[in-house]
Amino acid sequence: MRRLRVAVVGATGAVGRQMLSLLEERRFPVSDVVPLASAQSAGKRLSFGGGEVEVRALGPGSFEGVELALFSAGASVSREFCPVAAQAGALVVDNSSAWRMDPQVPLVVPEANLAAARTRPKGIIANPNCSTIQMIVALDPIRRAAGISRIFVSTYQAVSGKGARAIDELRVASERSLRGEEHAYQVFPGPMAFNVQADWKPAEGGYNEEELKMVNETRKIWGDPSIRVSPTTMRVPVLNGHTESIVVETTRKVTVAEARRLLSSAPGVVLCDEDRQPLPLAASGRDEVFVGRIREDLAVDNGLCLVVAADNLRKGAATNAIQIAEKLLLAAA
């Protein structure tokens, strides 16, 4: 199998490090890895391939000979450098919000709409938001069988979604709180230990950015602007792994038995036994989306209730990006 030169932009961040780890774990055929980050991080050494690789400063000439560029360095960096990487001939998969709603950039969850990735006028493919990805994986088998008209979703999102500094801050703050000491929060807007809060930027209508991402991204991925999504996103004091409570209204009635049958053979899904809950601890370190607690809803006609858990750094970010590359680059090799 032909081996590829792969660049990872944002290599020192939580998702960037996960991308490097997954390239090894999934035995992606890498001939040469190019870890890229800001000038401040240049010179750092990261583990890869049984040894170490040196982080390089991101710049206009960083993508020479690169065939795959994985981005996870923030929207401003992606807006500037994704087109540079694409112009250099790389397949670009971007994990930021920069390109998700661009009509010329496909927004892809491989289990649901891989075909969209084959038409990419700008040479860029966007990774959806982590909370959107796991919801789409869980609901797509039901949508294909029975149609979906409306979704109510509440999220319980781990602090790792804000990066490595957030994980460290929660650990320190929790220890200090148990000792009765105060903690000056730097990453979170207020107390996160033993607390629940919505810590995303406010948006229109009283919603926050994370909630509106789930609305707009779901419609784009499924190509259906008529689907109604009612989201509430919250951050919880869990280190890793997002959980979602979902009520989905289908076009025709779907029984619990049918839903379980559909999900039992769905790609990327682990269907939990009826007496077992999808838990972020169980999902952490895994690439699948865990689905369980499936019930007929008591208030919504044709409604089903589900609980969904997934590793937000893996399937919610790094794994989804690498799966896209595997499907497009390796299947054709």
Look at residues 211, 244, 241, 245 and name the one whose alpha carbon lies nearest to residue 229. 211
Backbone angles phi, psi at 225, to 5 degrees: -70, -10
Chain centre distance of CA 31: 26
Q: Contact at 8 Å (CB) between 326 and 1?
A: no
Residue in 130, 183, 272, 305 annotated catalytic? 130
| β-pairing verdict for 51-54 and 45-48 | antiparallel
**Does the annotation count 130 as an active-site position?**
yes
From the candidates 82, 242, 272, 305, which is the catalytic residue?
242
Two tokens, residue 268: 């990327």
3-state secondary structure of 205: helix
Q: Encoding tokens for residue 296?
A: 């007929």
209-222 and 130-146 are packed helices; what angle lies between their axes, rounded to 10 degrees? 40
272 included as an active-site residue: no
Query: In sequence order, what are the residues at sequence separation of 6 or more whose Cβ sits closer than 8 angstroms to the Cβ of residue 15?
Result: 72, 95, 313, 317, 318
Give the residue numbers annotated as catalytic, written as ranges.
130, 242
